[in-house]
Structure 1
Amino acid sequence: MRLAIRLQELLNLTRNFDFLGPLALRLYLVPIFWMAGTKKLSDMESTIAWFGNPDWGLGLPFPTFMAYAASITEAGGAILLLLGLAVRWISIPLMVTMVVAALTVHWQNGWLAIAEGNGIFANERTAGAVERLDRARELLREHGQYSWLTENGSFVVLNNGIEFAATYFIMLLMLLFVGAGRYFSVDHWIAKRYMA
């Protein structure tokens, strides 16, 4: 019994550092949403065309509205996450963008973001991608500078499955429930000042 009490006291000490979890989630998500949003905003004409075209794009209704909504939500959301401002509120539209991305862009590719040939989440598509990757490596070893090309990492085939969108959704869901965290967020200082 004494050991259980001691262990509980030790766990209670970790509450002094409970701000680290939300801070880490926020800082991890900032560059992801910033790059996604600013890339779309930098070429809105192409983004709108991709959102609207049913043949080679997403075929979404109201493509201009949807493209601007997604782009501004992502870029603006990155800024709010960085500041820790309105984090619970911005998590909702960011989660919506992840659901739309998962359903319209990634769903047909299965779970895996990176193609792997085996495992419970591998499918026919990823197995075929691994075969192509192996052939590409052979060609590069034979005709290219393979060691130079792989000096900083291995080649992979992007499968573009729902894995990353689902992961970001779960991270945002946590932020929706726990908020921005203490100390390193504007939300914390606003609450401390006006709700104390």
Structure 2
Amino acid sequence: MINTLLTSYNYSIKKLAILDGIPSLLFRLILAPVMIIAGYSKLNLSVDSVGLSELFLASPDIVAWFGNEQWGLGLPFPDLLAFLAGWSEFLGGWFLLLGLFTRVITIPLMFTMVVAATTVHWGNGWFAITPTNPQTSAAQVLDWLSIPGAKDSLANSLEAQQRIDKIKTLVNEHGYPEYLYETGTPVILNNGIEFSAIYFVMLLSLFFTGGGRFVSLDYWLYSRVKGE
């Protein structure tokens, strides 16, 4: 009985292997717009807003943010790093969208995610958006495992909930709740490493799996070269 089930299971997995490019495709479709717009926002790509001498360079505001130690990242060589980060994200996003040189392009993109996590988000903890219900917070599981910091996170969730409730009370009494809540309800932005870490893991997966069978230019280029 067990051998029959295992045989059927293995047979099904082999048949489904023809679809194993779909997860890579979905990862690429999620990551590509994020990377493209992140890079675009760092670069001067509009001739209407800058002169030709500044076109394709990093935006002065971004360069200042990269280099300033008081309110920015305090990184050395801000002009160069902003330029490299912007073009890595912008071009890398388009390459991901096409599934072209997928494994290669994930390397600089993973590096930008590490830099973003360690220089921008690290001091804010894990969550991008502060959970306002400790019962449904992922920190609850960490607390069960006695992970340090979990209790503080759960306590912070309660404090965040109190502030959200206060905001809603003020809006209901003095504001325009129908208008203000029409496109979504307010949240507390924590700006932690969550998104950077998730994007890093997705990029790492693409580094090992590639752009995906049948759904990437990498696959068709390799198939053509191999066929020759």
Structure 2 letter corresponding to 1:35: I
In the alignment, the residues of structure 2 paired with residue 170 and residue 78 of structure 1 have an alpha-carbon distance, to the nearest angstrom, of: 16
Q: TM-score, normalised by structure 2?
A: 0.81
Deviation of 1:135 (Å):
1.9
43-52 vs 171-180, which deviates more? 43-52
| Residue deviations 1:132-189 (CA, integer Å, cap 9, x gap) | 3322221111111113322332211211000000000000000000000122211111
Other-structure match for 1:39: 41
Output the CA distance in 1 between the equivalents of 2:189 and 2:74: 22
Q: TM-score, normalised by structure 1?
A: 0.93
Of residues 192, 195, 211 in structure 2, which corresponds to 1:164?
A: 195
1:17-72 residue CA offsets vs partner (Å, 9 max, x unmatched): 11101100001101111111111114710000000000000101110111111110
User: Which structure has the larger Rg?
Assistant: 2
Structure 1 residue runs of 5 or longer lacking an equivalent are none
Gap regions ≥5 residues in structure 2: 45-57, 140-149
Q: Distance in 2 between matches of 1:148 and 1:80?
A: 40
> What SS does the aligned partner of 1:153 have?
coil
**8 Å CA contact retained: 1:22, 1:179:** yes
Q: Which moved more, 1:160-169 or 1:144-153?
A: 144-153
Contact 1:109 1:125 in 2 (8 A): no
RMSD (Å) for aligned C-alpha atoms = 1.7
Select between 155-164 and 112-121 the one with higher mean Cα deviation.
112-121
Distance 1:125 1:66, change over 3 A: farther
**Residue equivalent to 2:96:** 81
CA distance in 2, matches of 1:181, 1:28: 14
Which residue of structure 2 aligns with residue 111 of structure 1?
A: 126
Higher helix content, 1 or 2: 1
Q: What is the correspondence of 1:40-79 to structure 2 with a 5 Å cutoff?
A: 40-42=42-44, 44-79=59-94
Give the partner amino acid of 2:66.
F
How many pairs align?
A: 196
Matches within 5 A, 1:115-130: 115-117=130-132, 118=134, 119=137, 120=139, 122=153, 128-130=159-161
